[in-house]
Amino acid sequence: MDVLITIVKEFGGEVIVGDAPAIGVKGNVFQKTGLQEVCKKHDVKLVDFNRDEGKVVTIENAIALNEVLIAKTYFEVDTIVNIPVFKSNALYWISGALKNMKGLIVGMDKH
């Protein structure tokens, strides 16, 4: 993340870092992962999407989920750089970039 922030800033971009773990986090996940320190070093805004204001988005022709609350920050940026963490879990054989976008759902409605 440190290098990515540096590169984006070198090209004149404004960086906002965000994350939203779905389950199993006790304490400050940003502090535990070192993300808070990296963002502080680069004077970059750090957003917890689980606590971000949300915007209700209607999903047309949805079978199960007609509306979802999406983090407000998503609607305020020009570009998203999605950095997946490759791992497996109980729901998927591999967790990648698409599942990673579920982090934009505010709160714990990610399942």
Provide the whole-model pTM.
Answer: 0.79
The Cα–Cα gap between 95 and 74 comes to 21
Convert the pLDDT of each residue in 58-109 to its tens digit.
999 989 889 999 999 999 999 999 887 666 666 666 666 666 778 888 887 6
Is residue 25 packed enough to be buried (19+ CB in 10 Å), middle (13-18) or exposed (0-12)? middle
